[in-house]
Amino acid sequence: MTKLQLSDVAAAPVPILAHSDAPPAPPARRRRWLPFSAWHLVLIPLTFLLIVPLLWMLVTSLETEGEANRFPPVLLPERPRFENYSEAWAAAPFGHFFLNSALVTLVVLLSNLVVCSLAGYAFARIRFLGRGALFVTLMATLMVPFQVTMIPVFLIVKWFGDNVWAGLGIDHIGALMLPNLATAFGIFFLRQFFQTVPVELEEAARVDGTSRLGVLFKIVLPLSLPALSTLAALTVLTSWNDFLWPLIVITSHDQMTIPLGLSYFQGAHRVKWPLLMAANVMSLLPMLLVFVGAQRYFVQSVASTGLKG
């Protein structure tokens, strides 16, 4: 391997390509200056700090109502009250809510991944007429708060329900999907990350006759797995936790999603904290599973890209 100067870095990632035939560096060398266990000393307190709210949720979910109604809060319940979980589950048709939430999230996720990839790539790499103005216009939709746009969105969705298909209209989960099928956020996010894919790879393929779409699917997307999986994780999070829009649009129990179900525990004068937190913890679990499952895509897999790791 030729010796790389620091100044080469920004200018040409290309040299890496030239050595795709060389054997991969042994992993041990990469870890030479990582004192294996010492990092845990940093990571553990850091993580603890970050997850304090979650710990509080867990603790509260195991308390009795009396204990939860104390201030300062009780940090260790006398006896962990696991019944809170079964009671919370029984308080509302959560099974149905889970299904609705899952369906909505799945559709929104897939739609965003597809639509935002196409658009993100176009904005990142293709010079087309009006690209700049269009990008700005789309970004503008991120700059007006939902509290202001929610009534017009409601009216538009209602129109769809009345004129296109009832399943898309008010009081159906289709209405929860429709306004979120693509977001400027996703486009902006992917545009940024697609720009980090070495353009030489794309150009090489195109010279070979691959179409733009082909380049997108064969080169850019495989190299962007961390970005795609990150967008997926964020989209799942936003969709799963969306509360205000479902609140306004859904009025039938069988179309409700989980956050609406959670609001069952929030009364006018009183919040049933233990049950609310139990339900909250239960609703986090699917997202946790999704994230854990997607973990391996967060790490750029060397083998799948042919790049030297």
Query: 193-232: which residues touch another protein (CB under 8 A)?
Result: 193, 195-201, 203-208, 212-213, 217-219, 221-222, 226-227, 229-230
CA angle at 76 for the pair 240 and 90, rounded to the nearest 5°: 45
Report the residue from 116, 220, 258, 279 that binds another protein according to the rule CB under 8 A: 116
Closer residue to another protein, CB minimum distance, 80 or 297? 297
The residue written with tokens 């393929």 in the block is 205
Report the residue from 57, 77, 89, 93 that binds another protein according to the rule CB under 8 A: 57
In three-state form (DSSP H/G/I as H, E/B as E, the rest C), the secondary structure along the chain is CCCCCCCHHHHCCHHHHHCCCCCCCCHHHHCCCCCCCHHHHHHHHHHHHHHHHHHHHHHHHCCCHHHHCCCCCCCCCCCCCCHHHHHHHHHCCHHHHHHHHHHHHHHHHHHHHHHHHHHHHHHHHCCCCCHHHHHHHHHHCCCCCHHHHHHHHHHHHHHHHHHCCHHHCCCCHHHHHHHHCCCHHHHHHHHHHHCCCCHHHHHHHHHCCCCHHHHHHHHHHHHCHHHHHHHHHHHHHHHHHCCHHHHHHCCCHHHCCHHHHHHHHECCCCECHHHHHHHHHHHHHHHHHHHHHHHHHHCCCHHHHCCCC
Report the residue from 28, 263, 278, 282 that binds another protein according to the rule CB under 8 A: 263
Closer residue to another protein, CB minimum distance, 82 or 167? 167
Closer residue to another protein, CB minimum distance, 82 or 137? 137
Q: Minimum distance between the CB of residue 135 and another protein, rounded to whole angstroms?
A: 9
Q: Minimum distance between the CB of residue 80 and another protein, rounded to whole angstroms?
A: 19
58 binds another protein (CB under 8 A): no
Q: Please give the Cα distance from 174 to 290 (Å, whole number).
A: 23
Report the residue from 28, 79, 128, 133 that binds another protein according to the rule CB under 8 A: 128
139 binds another protein (CB under 8 A): yes
Report the residue from 4, 80, 83, 163 that binds another protein according to the rule CB under 8 A: 4
Report the residue from 58, 93, 98, 134 that binds another protein according to the rule CB under 8 A: 134
Query: 13-32: which residues touch another protein (CB under 8 A)?
Result: 13, 16-18, 20, 25, 27, 29-31
163 binds another protein (CB under 8 A): no
Closer residue to another protein, CB minimum distance, 76 or 268? 268
Report the residue from 76, 154, 164, 242 that binds another protein according to the rule CB under 8 A: 154
94 binds another protein (CB under 8 A): no
Q: Minimum distance between the CB of residue 86 and another protein, rounded to whole angstroms?
A: 16
Size of the site for another protein (CB under 8 A): 168
